[in-house]
């Protein structure tokens, strides 16, 4: 695999999709620290120049994240897919991350003192080793967070893990994962340093804005989980129902019909093309009681969309670039079913009629 392509993938799509959750966690950690510092600094104090307090947490986060992904890449290259997380485990950690962001937002807004206890703090023995210095304490939380990112991989990271597995080499696997993480570094550096400096320049408004953004990212993550689980309460499911309740809605109008495949030799063939920004088609209809042959085709795509999940029919797969896979199943119950990537970022629906 061309490592330059891996780096560019991390720099572009990897940086954007991974920053949606992991960047939110980093911002939560730094914002909580800055909130604690802000109580000791006069409101009219001028912002200082860049120092260890600004770039130190970001550098620590990126360093531990790089190290743990180098190790993961080596293990994946040597041992294969036995080390990959199940979908349930991924959703569990995604839920924990969303809860952490939500609790951080409530802490920034000072909703209740209990939310102050959510911050990562060194254990007692570690505090003795580092002599409880301010700098060491400040770097501890981002360092732990960098390690924990291995449990909340974004869709592009999962695609890189598949590439590392297919390399069949510990060295190649480590290089692939390390190069990818290095490519995502600029996005996280911008998020971390911007969070640190903005909290100094606009202390009064920053906490409110940061809290609002964290709440949005947390809700986005929760909605992604609902999408993957094909829940009736996801935004994509509730949205059309709410629109139909609004006064201007014409209840006699008909929405565009979903694509319906032609039945060939008793089978309904459906082909979904996986693209960088989702699936095409992202809406189609099939007949109940007739087998469906679903073909997934991926081009040169490195995005969350390659981690395809169709929970209602027990389909879960991670496609490598320029490959295809086929699945056959028979829908028996009429209704609308959601398929999505493993994070719920991209989705579509199949209607059984």
pLDDT value of position 294 = 96
Residue 163: what pLDDT?
79
Please name the residues in contact with 289: beta carbons below 8 A apart, sequence gap of 6 or more: 330, 331, 332
Length of the chain: 353
Q: What's residue 206's pLDDT?
A: 64
What is d(CA 243, CA 258) in angstroms, rounded to the nearest whole number?
Answer: 19
DSSP state string for 238-275: HHHHHHHHSTT--TT--PPPPB-PPPBTTBEEEEEEEE
Distances in Å between the Cα of 82 and the Cα atoms of 7, 92, 269, 329, 343 are 25, 19, 32, 26, 21
| CA 78 from centre of chain | 26
Indicate the SS3 state at residue 161: helix
In this prediction the pTM is 0.68
Q: Which of 167, 153, 187, 175 is nearest to 6 (CA)?
A: 175
Task: Give the pLDDT confidence score for residue 326 in this predicted structure.
Answer: 96
CA count, 13 A, side-chain hemisphere, 230: 16
Angle between helices 24-38 and 87-108 (to 10 degrees): 20
Name residues of the chain where pLDDT drops below 50: 39-48, 122, 126-127, 129-133, 249-254
């Amino acid at each position: 695999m061309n490592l330059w392509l891996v780096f560019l993938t991390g720099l572009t799509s990897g940086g954007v999709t991974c920053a949606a959750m992991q960047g939110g966690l980093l911002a939560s950690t730094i914002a909580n620290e800055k909130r604690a510092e802000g109580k000791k600094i006069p409101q009219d104090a001028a912002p200082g120049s860049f120092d260890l307090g600004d770039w130190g947490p970001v550098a620590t986060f990126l360093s531990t994240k790089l190290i743990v992904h180098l190790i993961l890449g080596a293990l994946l290259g040597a041992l294969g897919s036995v080390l990959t997380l199940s979908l349930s485990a991924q959703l569990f950690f995604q839920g924990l991350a969303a809860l952490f962001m939500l609790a951080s937002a409530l802490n920034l807004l000072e909703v209740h003192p209990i939310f102050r206890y959510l911050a990562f703090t060194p254990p007692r023995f570690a505090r003795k080793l580092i002599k409880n210095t301010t700098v060491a304490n400040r770097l501890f939380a981002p360092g732990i967070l960098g390690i924990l990112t291995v449990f909340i991989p974004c869709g592009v990271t999962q695609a890189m893990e598949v590439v590392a597995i297919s390399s069949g080499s510990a060295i190649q696997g480590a290089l692939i994962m390390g190069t990818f993480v290095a490519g995502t570094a600029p996005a996280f550096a911008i998020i971390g340093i911007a969070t640190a400096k903005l909290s100094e320049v606009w202390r009064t408004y920053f906490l409110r804005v940061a809290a609002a953004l964290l709440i949005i990212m947390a809700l986005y993550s929760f909605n992604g989980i609902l999408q993957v689980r094909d829940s009736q309460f996801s935004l994509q499911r509730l949205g059309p129902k709410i629109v139909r309740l609004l006064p201007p809605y014409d209840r006699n109008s008909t929405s565009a019909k979903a694509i319906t495949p032609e039945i060939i030799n008793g089978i309904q063939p459906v082909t979904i093309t996986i693209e960088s920004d989702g699936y095409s088609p992202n809406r189609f209809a099939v007949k109940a009681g007739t087998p469906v042959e679903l073909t997934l085709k991926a081009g040169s795509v490195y995005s969350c969309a390659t981690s395809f999940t169709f929970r209602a029919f027990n389909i879960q797969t991670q496609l490598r670039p320029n490959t295809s896979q086929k699945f056959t199943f028979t829908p028996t119950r009429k209704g609308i079913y959601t398929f999505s990537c493993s994070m719920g970022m991209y989705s579509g629906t199949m209607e059984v009629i």
